[in-house]
Structure 1
Amino acid sequence: MKETVQSHSSRNLDEWLSYLESIHSTEIDMGLERISKVAENLAIEFEFTQVITVAGTNGKGTTCAFLENAILAEDRSVAVYSSPHIEKFNERLRINKQDVDDKAFILAFENIEQSRGDISLTYYEYTTLAALLIIMVEKPDFAILEVGLGGRLDATNIIDADIAVITTVDLDHQAFLGDNRESIGFEKAGIMRAGQRVVIGDKHPPQSVLAHAKQLNTQVYIRGVDFNVDLNELAHGWGWQSHNYTFNRLPQPFIPRDNIATAIMVLELLGINVDETKLVSLIISTKVAGRTELIAGHCKIMLDVGHNPLAARYLVEQIPLLSATKVHAVVAMLADKDIFNTLNPLLAAVDCWYMASLDIPRGANAEQLKSHISNSTNQILTFDNVIDAYKMALSQAKESDLILVFGSFFTVAQVKGFLN
């Protein structure tokens, strides 16, 4: 990575991250006033690149990954900023699919520390600014920014995007975004700008999203209106159509088809080559860690960071495709999630539950999780931690069974760490 300032700090990356966790009073403190002031001090600007900002309840990470792969296939450079990470902080920023190294982050952190004065920043604001500084140094052709929470008040929204993307709108983070799809949609629509190109991948977008797009006179491309997915010939794959393109025999993907459909519309707007042969290659090669990720073991094992009702409903659709004799679910979640409506769609699909406590400030304990599926007649075991739950599932699962690990990025991270 290129360097902007000479490092004089004795802190390594882990020490910096511990420091960032300590300098603001709350973990989530939404608003753009603080970060905008520091960004101005740092002279952050993104005129050198095409920016795609991706918001949505689910599907952001996989949409970003598909766009990233498509851009790289055209020999163009691309940065992707996303959060949270699963195993290693450096995952949060990729340049041409390579995680940024510690040194680049440390240099950026030093620069921010020199510029913020007495302005207090959250961990996420600080790391977002660091990512933006590194992207400014690298100057890729495209910069893909995944919104962390909501959109309107998310730190990534200090950058004006060339294309705004909203993947899905559903219930999650209600304490911050509202308790209904219209309120949540309004927050996500906040990434839009006047006259901007906007892609909406939700099959039934809230009126708040459509109204905001109309108010800003955006060039809006809506699923079901401007692009469509054809599922009538599933035996031969699936199809995608826009006003300009028709693809009839696309293969079954490793990531949600709906997110690929949204990404293809973005690629068309960017002028990226979207011929069918290249699309097929991209679809069969795009896999994302922690998103219906299959790993080798003595039985089928799937890891998924899904943590809300929409993600649970998607998992219910995926489980039958694996033809497992029994399904063993290892789950740990944050206490502020909609636990009941996340677990209950899976009751009919799961044979054995392994409920684990998450030993973090926002973590739910195993007994809390169990209380939300008290109407289940299947086996429910509780554990003090994720690894003990996973080990028990391994000991009970037969070769033809499936172990599903889900509920949080933290849950998947602990199992991946154990496997490594």
Structure 2
Amino acid sequence: MSQQTPSHSLQSSLQEWLCYLEHLHSQEIELGLSRIGQVASHLNIDFSFAKVITVAGTNGKGTSCAFLEHALLGQGKSVAVYSSPHIERFNERLRINKQDCDDQAFIRAFVEIEQARGDISLSYYEFTTLAAFLVLMAQKPDVIILEVGLGGRLDATNIIDADIAVITTVDLDHQAFLGDTREAIGYEKAGIMRANTPVVVGDKNPPQSLLDYGNSLNAKMYLRERDFFVSVADGKAGQTHTGHWQWHFAQQLLPDLALPFIPQDNVATALTVLSLLELELELSADLVNGLIDKTRVPGRTEMFHGQSDIMLDVGHNPQAARYLANVLASKRQQQGYTRVLAVVGMLADKDITNTLKPLGQSIDGWYLGTLEGPRAATAEQIAQLITTEDENINCFDNVTQAFKMACNNAKATDLILVFGSFFTVAEIRRLLV
């Protein structure tokens, strides 16, 4: 471009750039690799200097990435993690050696992309993903962990060929873009696989479409319940929150593992990835228990203690809600909570009914708030979709109001649960941190 306008230049702030990018493309989400692929080619995007791990899945991506990050940093590797969305600051989307990327690094990358793209339109996510890639090329970490944003096959991160692919779980979410069956969604997530390259699948019952995709490529698939296993003290495989547990893969058996702060299944998947990385890493129960203790991810069953205990969770789909219901049952048993008061804000394009349904028997009072933005469901819309007979449902103009009323009504023996969206957690977490 011959001249840059003040709205998108080196002198612009990060926030000004992000506002510009929000209005650059006609659609907020438009899957496909042709546009970003062309611009990436102009920019000579190349990660050959690093080991790349790409992580897809309906749930469990962020926690799996965090566990891998802690483990690899502990081995003296420089490690970058690219993820989305963020909770509080855009800079959270790219961290290198646990440090969020600074504004200026992003801005320099934005300017370079703006000059290279010509008349090719890029979505906000495509533009910011390319910016992260340029920063990574400048920093050259030993390991790059890419968290897929949506699906896999057509996600912007998939312009990169991973050395190891990871698919944590496959369930219903983003059906408007990925299809309304596990088979359709499994096919999209399988798109991160590459021929003759390892892929670790953490789902205990992966869709046949995913398996067929991998077999057609001759990908080296490592499957939960076939190649790696989880069992607990009482011998019932796959349970969570029940005493000590063990992980078994090939000739490796790690007993007496501590209960993690993140889903146990994601720890098992990440351990399998670590075993395949050929890092001369000798896994032991002591080493893994140290990693388990370190791995706590903001907004994932995150606890705050005060007059009443508060749990934040970004869960926003039926599978995440089923997991959350199990966590609440365990918390009630361990901590003796009298009631659970739920503060909820959700987007209208989510499966609200089937997300709230698994939690119906766990919640003693609902405090519903309307999120900002055109995609938000109103508190009244959410209230109509609660299928329990509990009449303790309260609606508010926003999530902050809902949260403050829940706090006013909560007793010291109650737990306040905040969930339903990254936006919901972000709004309340700002009040707590």
Which band: TM-score by shorter chain? over 0.9
Provide the secondary structure at the position in 2 that maps to 1:66: helix
Provide the secondary structure at the position in 2 that maps to 1:297: coil
**Residue in structure 1 matched with residue 422 of structure 2 by the alignment:** 409
**Residue in structure 1 matched with residue 376 of structure 2 by the alignment:** 363
Instruction: Give the AA of the match of 2:83.
Output: S
**Residue in structure 1 matched with residue 162 of structure 2 by the alignment:** 161
**Residue in structure 2 matched with residue 224 of structure 1 by the alignment:** 225
Instruction: Find the aligned partners of 2:242 and 2:26 in 1 and give their Cα distance.
Output: 54
Provide the secondary structure at the position in 1 that maps to 2:81: strand
Q: Which moved more, 1:224-233 or 1:279-288?
A: 224-233
Instruction: Give the AA of the match of 2:120.
Output: I
**Residue in structure 1 matched with residue 404 of structure 2 by the alignment:** 391
Matched, 1:284 2:296: no
Instruction: Find the aligned partners of 1:149 and 1:235 in 2 and give their Cα distance.
Output: 32
Query: Among residues 329, 342, 351, which one is paired with 2:342 in the alignment?
Result: 329
Instruction: Find the aligned partners of 1:193 and 1:290 in 2 and give their Cα distance.
Output: 32
State whether residues 351 and 378 of structure 1, in contact with CA within 8 Å, keep that contact through their aligned partners in structure 2: no
Alignment RMSD, CA only? Answer: 1.2
Superposed CA deviations along residues 150-194 of structure 1, whole A, max 9, x for unmatched, are 000000000000001000000000000000000000000001111
Superposed CA deviations along residues 100-137 of structure 1, whole A, max 9, x for unmatched, are 11010001101101100000000000010001111111
Shift in Å, 1:366: 0.4
Provide the secondary structure at the position in 1 that maps to 2:47: coil
Scaled by the length of structure 2, what TM-score is found? Answer: 0.94
Shift in Å, 1:285: 1.3
Instruction: Give the AA of the match of 1:95.
Output: I
Provide the secondary structure at the position in 2 that maps to 1:25: coil
Provide the secondary structure at the position in 1 that maps to 2:194: coil
Relative to structure 1, the CA distance from residue 74 to residue 399 in structure 2 (aligned partners, 3 Å threshold; closer, same or farther) is same
Instruction: Find the aligned partners of 1:322 and 1:186 in 2 and give their Cα distance.
Output: 36
Instruction: Give the AA of the match of 2:321.
Output: A
**Residue in structure 2 matched with residue 316 of structure 1 by the alignment:** 325
Matched, 1:33 2:34: yes
Shift in Å, 1:277: 1.3
Instruction: Find the aligned partners of 1:14 and 1:56 in 2 and give their Cα distance.
Output: 30
Instruction: Give the AA of the match of 1:361.
Output: P
Shift in Å, 1:321: 2.1
Instruction: Find the aligned partners of 2:115 and 2:141 in 1 and give their Cα distance.
Output: 25
Instruction: Find the aligned partners of 1:235 and 1:177 in 2 and give their Cα distance.
Output: 34
- Paired residues in the alignment total 414
Matched, 1:270 2:277: yes
Superposed CA deviations along residues 389-413 of structure 1, whole A, max 9, x for unmatched, are 0000000111111000000000000
Instruction: Give the AA of the match of 2:55.
Output: V
Instruction: Find the aligned partners of 1:93 and 1:355 in 2 and give their Cα distance.
Output: 32
Instruction: Find the aligned partners of 2:154 and 2:94 in 1 and give their Cα distance.
Output: 21
State whether residues 50 and 142 of structure 2, in contact with CA within 8 Å, keep that contact through their aligned partners in structure 1: yes
Name stretches of at least 5 consecutive residues in structure 2 with no aligned partner.
1-7, 235-240
Instruction: Give the AA of the match of 1:328.
Output: L
**Residue in structure 2 matched with residue 346 of structure 1 by the alignment:** 359
Matched, 1:9 2:44: no
**Residue in structure 1 matched with residue 122 of structure 2 by the alignment:** 121
Instruction: Find the aligned partners of 1:374 and 1:206 in 2 and give their Cα distance.
Output: 29
Provide the secondary structure at the position in 2 that maps to 1:67: helix
Relative to structure 1, the CA distance from residue 181 to residue 235 in structure 2 (aligned partners, 3 Å threshold; closer, same or farther) is closer
Superposed CA deviations along residues 174-217 of structure 1, whole A, max 9, x for unmatched, are 00000000000000000111111010000100001111111100
Relative to structure 1, the CA distance from residue 374 to residue 243 in structure 2 (aligned partners, 3 Å threshold; closer, same or farther) is closer
Matched, 1:306 2:307: no
**Residue in structure 1 matched with residue 56 of structure 2 by the alignment:** 55
Instruction: Find the aligned partners of 1:363 and 1:404 in 2 and give their Cα distance.
Output: 19
Instruction: Find the aligned partners of 1:85 and 1:291 in 2 and give their Cα distance.
Output: 13
Shift in Å, 1:235: 6.2
Superposed CA deviations along residues 333-392 of structure 1, whole A, max 9, x for unmatched, are 000000000001111000000011112111100011000015422400000100000000
Instruction: Find the aligned partners of 2:65 and 2:225 in 1 and give their Cα distance.
Output: 21
State whether residues 168 and 201 of structure 2, in contact with CA within 8 Å, keep that contact through their aligned partners in structure 1: yes
Q: Which moved more, 1:279-288 or 1:227-236?
A: 227-236
**Residue in structure 1 matched with residue 131 of structure 2 by the alignment:** 130
Relative to structure 1, the CA distance from residue 235 to residue 175 in structure 2 (aligned partners, 3 Å threshold; closer, same or farther) is closer
Instruction: Find the aligned partners of 1:60 and 1:206 in 2 and give their Cα distance.
Output: 18
Query: Among residues 244, 248, 255, which one is paired with 1:241 in the alignment?
Result: 248
Instruction: Give the AA of the match of 2:396.
Output: F
Instruction: Give the AA of the match of 1:138.
Output: Q
Superposed CA deviations along residues 131-154 of structure 1, whole A, max 9, x for unmatched, are 111111111110000000000000
Name stretches of at least 5 consecutive residues in structure 1 with no aligned partner.
1-6
Q: Which moved more, 1:145-154 or 1:369-378?
A: 369-378
Describe how 1:201-212 pairs up with structure 2 within 5 A: 201-212=202-213
Superposed CA deviations along residues 54-109 of structure 1, whole A, max 9, x for unmatched, are 00000000000000000001111110000000000000000011101101000110
State whether residues 318 and 354 of structure 2, in contact with CA within 8 Å, keep that contact through their aligned partners in structure 1: yes
Superposed CA deviations along residues 287-326 of structure 1, whole A, max 9, x for unmatched, are 0000000012211110000000000000100012222110
Q: Which moved more, 1:354-363 or 1:168-177?
A: 354-363
**Residue in structure 1 matched with residue 259 of structure 2 by the alignment:** 252
Provide the secondary structure at the position in 1 that maps to 2:300: coil
State whether residues 86 and 412 of structure 1, in contact with CA within 8 Å, keep that contact through their aligned partners in structure 2: yes
Instruction: Find the aligned partners of 2:157 and 2:82 in 1 and give their Cα distance.
Output: 9
State whether residues 357 and 388 of structure 2, in contact with CA within 8 Å, keep that contact through their aligned partners in structure 1: no
Scaled by the length of structure 1, what TM-score is found? Answer: 0.97
**Residue in structure 1 matched with residue 75 of structure 2 by the alignment:** 74
State whether residues 360 and 387 of structure 2, in contact with CA within 8 Å, keep that contact through their aligned partners in structure 1: no
